Amino acid sequence: MHTTRFVESYFDAWNHRDPKGVADHLAADGIYCDIPEHQQRSHDELITSLGAFFAHDRHQYELIGDIQTGRNSIAFQYRVSSPYDDDNGLARSYFGAEFMTLSGDAAIIITDYYDVRVMARPQSDVHSAAGRSLQHKYAKSGLNTAQLEEFKCRLETIMRTEKVFLRSDLTLPKLAAAVDCSVNHLSQVINSGFGMSFFDYLNQHRIEYARKLLGEYERHNIAILSVAFAVGFNSNSAFYAAFKKCIGQTPAQYRRTQLNKFH
């Protein structure tokens, strides 16, 4: 895959308000994770969601700075600008960052983090504030950008190939040992690289796997509690809360929706 062309095509689809064009950058079983909205969407769900969004959206999307690449990942920052000015004559803009885990010519996961609360603030203020915050939090970590990307790729590889998230006893120190880095560095990788906490990152993978199990027809008689335990949760209530937060439906509602596709 040519990274620059892939990202250019992705932004082009956003700017042409093309839901399918955006979603087609996902693999068939890929997931788009909207962090601020606590939503995960499949390829088809993203088309539906963006179809409604683009019906009234007139923003322009543009890349900021360089594209950061790892072995199987892309990371970049972007700006979203409104064609309308605010009362002070400033362009109404907000900023975000995306992290893509790749497989071949498509993304397995697109994680999108943005903050509309910074709308209309100058770009330099936004980035300097964000930079100061991260620098303060990780001032003594000694982890540079290249190392962060390396650990990020190593983490995603372990999560995908070894499925360590299925272990109900998985902790941050145990995961750090699997990645072969310090706990502080892994915390920085997850917080800065994916824009979420350790538990949200862990649950994202668990819920993604649970969606796969709940959507398989041959498993439609398996109790939802069994699915919860199979993907690493220790209680049904924790599983339901995490599933509803990520998907917007309860596990039972999601299963019914998926099984209806077989009829």
In tens, the pLDDT along 177-186 reads 999 888 888 9
Model pLDDT for residues 205-225, shown as the tens digit of each residue: 999 999 989 888 777 788 999
Round the average pLDDT of the chain to a whole number and report it. Answer: 81
Are residues 25 and 8 in contact, defined by beta-carbon separation less than 8 angstroms? no
Is the model's pLDDT at 124 over the cut of 70?
Answer: no
pLDDT, mean of residues 99-110: 86
155 and 125 within one domain = no
Out of 34-43, 92-101, 197-206, the most confident range is 197-206
Domain co-membership, 205 together with 125 = no
Is the pLDDT reported for residue 256 higher than 60?
yes
Last residue of a domain, one of 137, 154, 177: 137
Spatial CB neighbours of 56, under 8 Å, sequence gap ≥ 6: none
Structure tokens at 33: 């994770």
Q: Which residue has the higher pLDDT, 131 or 9?
A: 9
Helix ranges (H only) for 138-223 are 145-161, 172-179, 183-194, 198-214
Q: Out of 34-43, 102-111, 245-254, which region has the weakest mean confidence (pLDDT)?
A: 34-43
Task: Name, of 101-105, 194-198, 204-208, the range with top average pLDDT.
Answer: 204-208
What is the pTM (predicted TM-score) of this model? 0.51
Cα separation, 234 vs 231, in Å, equals: 9
Task: For residue 10, give the nearest of 140, 91, 100 by alpha carbon.
Answer: 100
Higher pLDDT: 82 or 30? It is 30
- What CATH number did the domain enclosing 183 receive? 1.10.10.60
230 compared with 117, residue with greater pLDDT: 230
The CATH number of the domain where 91 resides is what? 3.10.450.50
Task: State the total domains in the chain.
Answer: 2
pLDDT of residue 10: 96
* Bridge partners, 68 (sequence order): 75
Which of 75, 108, 137 marks a domain boundary?
137
Say whether both 132 and 210 belong to one domain: no
Q: Which domain holds residue 247?
A: 145-260
State whether 58 and 97 are in the same domain.
yes
What pLDDT score does 218 carry? 74
SS3 (DSSP) at 168: coil
**Are residues 33 and 94 located together in one domain of the fold?**
yes
| CA–CA distance, 115 with 129 (Å, rounded to integer) | 13
Q: Which of 1, 35, 141, 263 is nearest to 10 (CA)?
A: 1
Residues 128, 52 share a domain = yes
pLDDT exceeds 60 at position 100: yes
Count the neighbouring beta carbons within 10 Å of the beta carbon of residue 2. Answer: 9
Residue 130: pLDDT over 50: no
- Asked whether residue 153 falls in the same domain as residue 248, the answer is yes
What pLDDT does residue 113 have? 78
Residues 178, 124 within the same domain: no
Among 105, 137, 169, give the residue marking a domain's end.
137
Residue 130 shares a structural domain with residue 13 = yes
Q: Are 34 and 41 in contact (CB under 8 A)?
A: yes
Q: Which residues contact 11 (CB under 8 A, 6 or more apart)?
A: 61, 62, 63, 78
**Pair 97, 189 in one domain:** no
